[in-house]
Structure 1
Amino acid sequence: MTIKTKVSICLPTCDRPELLVRCIESCLMQTHADIEIVIGDDSRDDRTAQLIATRYRDDARIAYRRNVPALGQARNVASLFERASGDKILLIHDDDYLLGHCLERLLAQWERYPDLEVAFGDQYETDHLGHVDHAASQRMNAAYHRTADAAGLQALPGRTGIVQMFPNNGWLADAALVKRIGYEERYGTCCDYVFGTLLCLAAQRVCYVNEYVSCYRMTDVSVSQATRRTINASSISAWHFLKGLTLPRELEPARKLAYRRLVPIVVSLLARNHEARAGLQLALGNLYAYRFGFSARLYYHLLMIWKASRHGRQEPVALLGRKDEQPVDTSRTRMP
């Protein structure tokens, strides 16, 4: 079955040709050969276009397009999904890369479960140069609930997305389902998390493979790193999205588990940005995220909030009650 399956590897890129080569080469070296690499380039200069023309001009597997004007993260990814012609779609960001057996291992799950819709595995964490940090990789996967005892078909597929078990890229899914879910620009830097959550909520069969299949590169130039200490941070967007999500009762524990991770991050961000009242409201309203006061992190954040309250500022922007916040229809960047 895997031999007859065409996979579209969707690769958004922007101003990083020096990292892009490693990513493309990892795609071309897959042990599963029936692929196309669909590239959407939002770069501000011609370096990436020149790279593709020089190095990959004669490779029929690569479908490159320069976006003029640039589309932005979400619309670029959405356009790649639309252009994809394969039976399955895999997303990989330009600063990350795949292990050689990635597609083979993930596609093998469809042989075990013919009605499968989504499969994903573990990610290595690497430094800027691509060197794997094994200890950090184990911690990262464990933090996102990717452990040996969780391997196999997921009893509650939607939970996989809600608690961030589903990775930001390196996953494989049925193309029809991916195209139905799509990427939405309104979620900003949080669009990866929103997509993964909605994809898993829509899927009936999701499989986690307890094996490394891709590499997540830590850089200082990603969208999430550039905004991580600001009000535009992906964690705040994720908080709003998750709070407005309509879920069945059996998935409410997953929402609470996700809050346990998100709440302290959002409280810290609110305090850093002088939103003391909103930060205090969120912390006191979700004390379980701080082990009901048995976490030193709570008192550190309360100190941050106190300092923010003494800082001269304008009226708060009510980040925890935005007028544009709407419930999310579950039928249809990178998180920290």
Structure 2
Amino acid sequence: MTINSKLPEPLVSVIIPTYNRSKYLEQAIASAVKQTYQNIEIIVSDNCSPENPQNLVASFGDSRIKFWRHKENVGMLNNQMNAFKMARGKYVASLHDDDIWNQDFLAKLIPALEANSNLILAFCDQYIIDAQGEINAAATEGNSRSYKRDQIASGIHEDFQKIGLVDKSIPTAAACVIRNGLIDWDSIPSEVGGMWDLYLTYLCYISGYAVYYYPEKLTYYREHEQTDTMLSGRRNVQAKIRKAKSEMFCYQIFMEDVRLQEFHSHFKRLWLEANTTLGIGLLLDKEVKAARSYFWQALHEQKFNLRTLTALTLSFTPSIITNKVLGVY
């Protein structure tokens, strides 16, 4: 008599933090519900959206979905971390409320993690889609090249500090599955802000575990007007300031970590760029004195940088000229 000894699929927690994007949220949840890998819990954590999505979430009628709504806006990072801490699964995977997964996303990444207990995460490549959900072929290929995912060998990578922290190839917040229980979610400081995914990659690196790359595009990253990337330009000065502060905090930690000394100059360059970006944001916010201090600091560390010199010069010109010119930075 043959006994079927196949073990049950381990539970995977799908984390969907959301804020006021019901149209996209519905598509994100649908892509999670339709996963061919079925043993999942879906945690939708709402950051006190003015448009309460509770009825939308309930409309799926799926007992695997758990809905949490904060009584007040706790910020993007706290909302994300709260959902991670609610996860009961052996593995966790973050899904932005405006992104989509292929039906076989989990089915293709989980086996590698199950086969090797020394892996902390598995990740893949992604498509870039527009607000309407159409694939932007040029942006997709440009994204893969920019993050060098077109150059990464399929399989296990034990030394992934360059892949993860320099090339930023691992889309930790959008296209990867992480082994739960290895990361202390409370150890992610509030200062990382919108850079929490890069900092999470850092925590995965210093854990001593390895990562696995599956070289297919299994997720769809949506680019639209309300993403943090789009907001952190001149259209939203406060978003620009927040992003620069987050970058400075992360790169400072990376610069000080002796395990990353071979990349010290790289992280210092990015830290200096973030100093200038913060100065530009403060200048646009009419905090001229504070802005100059960051320009002077950046110039002191790198001696010459045209972007920084231009911004510093503009801090002494009428604001109408400053705002017009700094729109390109």
> TM-score interval w.r.t. the shorter chain?
0.7 to 0.9
Matched, 1:81 2:84: yes
Does 1:279 pair with 2:299? no
Distance 1:78 1:225, change over 3 A: same
Cα distance change, pair 218–86 in 1 and its aligned pair in 2 (3 A) = same
1:276 to 1:140, Cα distance in 2 relative to 1, 3 A:
farther
Which residue number in structure 2 is paired with residue 325 of structure 1?
Answer: none
CA 1:172 to 1:254, structure 2 compared with 1: closer, same or farther past 3 Å? farther
In structure 2, what is the equivalent of residue 165 of structure 1? Answer: 169
Hey, what's the Cα distance between the residues in 2 that align with 1:126 and 1:158?
28
Quote the offset at 1:77 in angstroms: 1.5
Question: What residue in structure 2 maps to residue 132 of structure 1?
Answer: 135
1:99 to 94, 99, 102: 102
Distance 1:304 1:240 in 2: 22
Shifted more, 298-307 versus 139-148: the winner is 298-307
How far apart, in 2, do the equivalents of 1:245 and 1:43 lie? Answer: 34
Taking the aligned partners of 1:123 and 1:222, their CA distance within structure 2 comes to 17
In structure 1, give the amino acid aligned to 2:169: M
C-alpha displacement of 1:210: 2.1
Counterpart of 1:318 in structure 2 is none
**2:193 aligned to which of 168, 188, 193:** 188
- TM-score w.r.t. structure 2 length? 0.80
- Does the CA contact (< 8 Å) of 1:74 and 1:183 recur in 2? no
TM-score (norm 1): 0.78
Match of 2:202 in 1: 197
Q: 1:74 to 1:98 in 2, by over 3 A?
A: same
Contact 2:20 2:51 in 1 (8 A): no
Q: Name which of 180, 185, 206 aligns with 1:175.
A: 180
> Are residues 30 and 255 of structure 1, via their aligned partners in 2, closer, same or farther at CA, if it must alter by over 3 Å?
farther
Identical counterparts, % of pairs: 22
Equivalent residue, structure 2, for 1:308? 315
AA partner of residue 70 (structure 2):
N
Q: What code does the residue aligned with 2:199 have? A: V
Structure with bigger RCO (C-alpha 8 Å, 6+ apart): 1
Q: Which amino acid aligns with 1:76?
A: N
* Larger deviation, residues 29-38 vs 112-121: 112-121
- Contact residue 16 and residue 44 of structure 2 kept, 8 A: yes
Do the aligned residues in 2 keep the contact of 1:23 with 1:98 (CA within 8 Å)?
yes
1:207 to 200, 206, 212: 212
Contact 1:11 1:93 in 2 (8 A): yes
Q: CA RMSD in A?
A: 2.9
Structure 1 unaligned residues grouped into runs of 5+: 288-292, 313-336
